[in-house]
Amino acid sequence: MTDYAEEQDNEIEALESIYPDILEVLETEPHCFKLSLSAETDSHEEGAPLGVDLQFTYVPTYPDAPPEMEVLSPQNLTEQDVSSIQDLLQQQAEENLGMVMVFTLVSAVQERLSELVEEKKKQAEEERERKQREEEEKEKKRFEGTRVTIETFLAWKDRFDQEIAEKKKSKKEEDNSKKLTGKQLFERDTSLNDSDARFLDNEGDESVEVDESLFQDMADLDLDEELDLED
């Protein structure tokens, strides 16, 4: 007959010697204890470490029956990551029935955490590469400009013609606003009115003067002689 209590006591003693810094005994009847696991990233890599607490409680017939297992306090793990750890524990427990198994279970979870570190490292690298490719594509497009097709050229020409038409319309309206009609110019320049009035006043007041000296030699001319010469 299997002495379950003795096997359980012996395993607890072995686990305390293997994991002195991460094992914490919570209860002794029944045995309940917790181990805090973590997987550190490389010192030169970005990102926080991954971690999880595994809590085990022996059932009376352990190890012929699996212990109660809980995954607690996940650190930087997604729900999917936690679910994969729970599935792993269940699988390993079923494969190791009849033997003390906590060391095997803890080792499997520790290995899984290390795998998750590598997966997340790879995901981060792929994300950096994706962003880098996007930046390179943006930079390339900035230098290449937009490829010109018939459609894009016609669309550009239509916009260009509209802009030119609007500018011409604005220029014409501006020029028209600057032009004045004759009436507007006359009304605006009052000096024209004054000059016309002065001319009319002077015309009524002044008489025509004749310079008689221009005709003083007329009497000396021999008009008859000139007529004879012409005949």
pLDDT of residue 194: 59
Q: What is the sign, positive or negative, of the torsion defined by CA atoms of 161, 163, 166, 167?
A: negative
Domain residues for the domain of 114 are 4-122
Mean pLDDT, rounded, of the chain? 80
Report the CATH number at residue 113.
3.10.110.10
Residue whose C-alpha is closest to residue 112's, from 25, 65, 52: 52
What is the domain count for the chain?
1
The yes-or-no verdict on residue 110 having pLDDT over 50 is yes
Q: Which of 54, 64, 51 is nearest to 101 (CA)?
A: 64
Q: Strand locations in 40-196, DSSP E?
A: 50-57, 68-75
- Identify whether 38 is part of a domain: yes
127, HSE (Cβ side, Cα atoms, 13 Å): 6
In a domain, residue 154? The reply is no
Q: Kindly tell me if the per-residue pLDDT of 44 is higher than 50.
A: no
Residue 132 is assigned to a structural domain of this protein: no
What's the pLDDT at 54? 97
CA dihedral 115, 116, 120, 125 (to 10 degrees): 0
Say if residues 68 and 53 touch (Cβ distance below 8 Å): no
Establish if 71 belongs to a structural domain.
yes
Q: Examine residue 187 and state whether it is found in any structural domain, yes or no.
A: no
Phi, psi of 37 (to 5 degrees): -105, 150
Phi and psi for 38 in degrees, rounded to 5?
A: -150, 160
Does residue 159 belong to any structural domain of this protein?
no
Instruction: Confirm whether 221 is domain-assigned.
Output: no
Residue 227 pLDDT: 46
Beta bridge partners of 55: 34, 70
The mean per-residue pLDDT over the stretch 100-120 comes to 94
Decide if 16 is inside a domain: yes
CA 12 from centroid of its chain's CA atoms: 56
pLDDT per position as a tens digit, 12-36: 999 999 999 999 999 988 999 999 9
